[in-house]
Amino acid sequence: MTVLEGPSVRLRPLVPDDYATVFGWYNDPEVVAPFDRFSVDTMDSFVRSVEAAPTDRSSLAARFVVERKDPPGVVGFVGHYLPHPVLEYVDVWYVMGDRAARGKGYGREAVRLLVDHVYATSSVDRVGATCDVENAASYRLVEGLGFRREGTLRSALFHHARWHDVYVYGITRAEWTARARPG
């Protein structure tokens, strides 16, 4: 099992004991709203997608839970995927399901571990993230890791009954390697 250790959190693959918690977060509008639409239909489809993800580079399923070390507990989940059939880059996404654990740096630490993992296990040069322009927590998280805002996709995401603009962020392998740590 791949376990990625940081100072305050570790990332580890989901195990069956995590399914109810993470499935609950996926489907809790208080967790994902107002910025996205991560909801899945049924527990069965959720489990199928999580278990198929390791062999599907384009899978949107959660890849790791974020486990806080002190006090111990699962506080979030993250994923990475190939978003485009031709372009070669990986996008990362991240949810701190435990809302009481937000704003303490765990999200940024988790994404730092995730990006390290993507670069260590693939040959991609660019890692990206897309963030609703209204989601300051999401884009500030990646800005703090050195991602650059590369542009805006207009009306690219539909949720909560309207279209939303989305910022495109990215970092290259050379930029990531050159960053001072921790950042």
Ligand X SMILES: CC(C)(COP(=O)(O)OP(=O)(O)OC[C@H]1O[C@@H](n2cnc3c(N)ncnc32)[C@H](O)[C@@H]1OP(=O)(O)O)[C@@H](O)C(=O)NCCC(=O)NCCS
Site for ligand X in 78-117 (CB under 6 A): 93-96, 102-108
Least distance between ligand X and beta carbon 109 (Å): 7
Residue 116 CB coordination number (10 Å)? 15
Contact pick of 135, 146, 156, 157 for ligand X (by CB under 6 A): 135
Q: Does 146 bind ligand X (CB under 6 A)?
A: no
Q: Does 141 bind ligand X (CB under 6 A)?
A: yes
Nearest CB to ligand X, comparing residues 159 and 173 = 159
Contact range with ligand X by CB under 6 A, out of 48-56, 116-124, 136-144, 162-170:
136-144
Site for ligand X in 7-66 (CB under 6 A): 32, 35-36
DSSP conformation letters of 97-163 = -SGGGTTSSHHHHHHHHHHHHHHHH---SEEEEEEETT-HHHHHHHHTTTPEEEEEEEEEEEETTEE
Contacts to ligand X by CB under 6 A: 32, 35-36, 93-96, 102-108, 131, 135-138, 140-141, 144
